[in-house]
């Protein structure tokens, strides 16, 4: 059986190994494949039966040109890069990798929040530039320092990742307002409750964390009108999907001070464009979509990718999205 990985570098920049897939067939791994070069995508797949992709698009044209494909594995949770209906019409199962990064993404959301509250990186650099050793006082700080105990975090999307963030927030003494279409009442306690109305969450939250999928109804949920409903100085966190935020509206709110700070690991177009309005915004931390990328998380993803293929080979397809 011939296996092709079209863009393996992001998952495995040489600190993991491909032995699990190599044990299942003749495996060829490309670090990167040109995303817009359909002919090259087709050439690299060739007569392979198993194709893995992360961000390389697989279209109906690719399926028509590569009739040997029997299985498509997506090395991520999101699978919008694959034309799943065209694959279904060809009888090709498309399987993704859910739940591999729950702990890492929740931890990263809190990491963004703590950096906003303490500006640890900035003050570390200030010390190394000699500002502490030459300071007339025994300490200094350049930004207001924020204590989270007793404050309220509103979490939009209270699935696995939202709950992971919520658990850490509660451990720091925060109250959690959870918004989700599904309510797990076992999670409700003295520090955590569900709200049925987003307006209530906007009004009551000191921190708003986005952990919801990108659907039509959630696209642009952080916009000018909803920001107006929020507390002055609210902190906004997003390490879910970039288009959940109307970026021009957030830029305006950051620059005016209505939004006190934002911590973002995702933006509307990735890699970020040089003209993204948030690059010049006040009090805005942006990281390059790395919430998921701890070694532990990536190893889990690799292991699940292998298990998905083993299940397919055994006639029991799991994590199928089409």
Q: Which residues are identified as catalytic?
A: 241, 270, 289
Task: Write out the two tokens for 157.
Answer: 């999307």
Task: Write out the two tokens for 257.
Answer: 């001070």
CB atoms within 10 A of CB 314: 9
Task: Write out the two tokens for 251.
Answer: 């830029």
Calpha distance 267→149 (Å, rounded)? 29
Closest CA to 289 of 262, 271, 275: 271
Calpha distance 175→265 (Å, rounded)? 23
Calpha distance 65→20 (Å, rounded)? 28
Task: Write out the two tokens for 50.
Answer: 């198993």
Residue carrying structure tokens 């530039």 = 129
Q: Are 63 and 15 in contact (CB under 8 A)?
A: no
3-state secondary structure of 2: strand
Q: What is the CA radius of gyration of the chain?
A: 22
Q: Is 65 left (phi over 0), alpha (psi -120 to 50) or beta?
A: alpha
Calpha distance 92→232 (Å, rounded)? 51
Residue carrying structure tokens 């797949």 = 45
């Amino acid at each position: 059986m011939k296996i092709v990985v079209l863009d393996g570098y992001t998952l495995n920049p040489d600190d993991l190994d491909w032995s699990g897939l190599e044990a299942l067939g003749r495996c060829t791994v490309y670090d990167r494949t040109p995303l817009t070069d359909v002919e090259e995508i087709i050439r690299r797949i060739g007569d392979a039966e198993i194709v893995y992709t992360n961000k390389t698009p697989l279209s109906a044209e690719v399926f028509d040109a590569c009739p040997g494909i029997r299985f498509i594995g997506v090395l991520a949770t999101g699978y919008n890069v694959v034309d799943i209906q065209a694959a279904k019409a060809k009888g090709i199962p498309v399987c993704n990798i859910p739940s591999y990064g729950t702990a890492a993404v929740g931890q990263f959301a809190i990491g963004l929040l703590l950096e906003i509250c303490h500006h640890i990186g900035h003050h570390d650099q200030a010390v190394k530039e000699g500002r502490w050793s030459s300071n007339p006082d025994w300490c200094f700080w350049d930004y207001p320092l924020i204590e989270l105990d007793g404050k309220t975090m509103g979490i939009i999307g209270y699935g696995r990742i939202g709950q992971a963030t919520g658990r850490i927030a509660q451990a720091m003494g925060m109250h959690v307002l959870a918004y989700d279409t599904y309510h797990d009442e076992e999670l409700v306690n003295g520090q955590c409750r569900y709200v049925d109305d987003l307006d209530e969450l906007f009004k009551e939250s000191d921190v708003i964390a986005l952990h919801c999928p990108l659907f039509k109804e959630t696209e642009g949920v952080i916009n000018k009108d909803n920001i107006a409903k929020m507390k002055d100085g609210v902190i906004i966190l997003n390490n879910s999907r970039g288009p959940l935020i109307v970026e021009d509206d957030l830029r305006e709110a950051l620059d005016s001070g209505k939004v006190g700070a934002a911590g973002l690991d995702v933006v509307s177009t990735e890699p970020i464009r040089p003209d993204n309005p948030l690059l010049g915004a006040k009090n805005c931390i942006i990281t390059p979509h790395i919430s998921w990328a701890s070694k532990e998380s990536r190893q889990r993803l690799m292991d699940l990718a292998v298990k998905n293929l083993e299940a397919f080979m055994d006639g029991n397809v799991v994590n199928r999205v089409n």
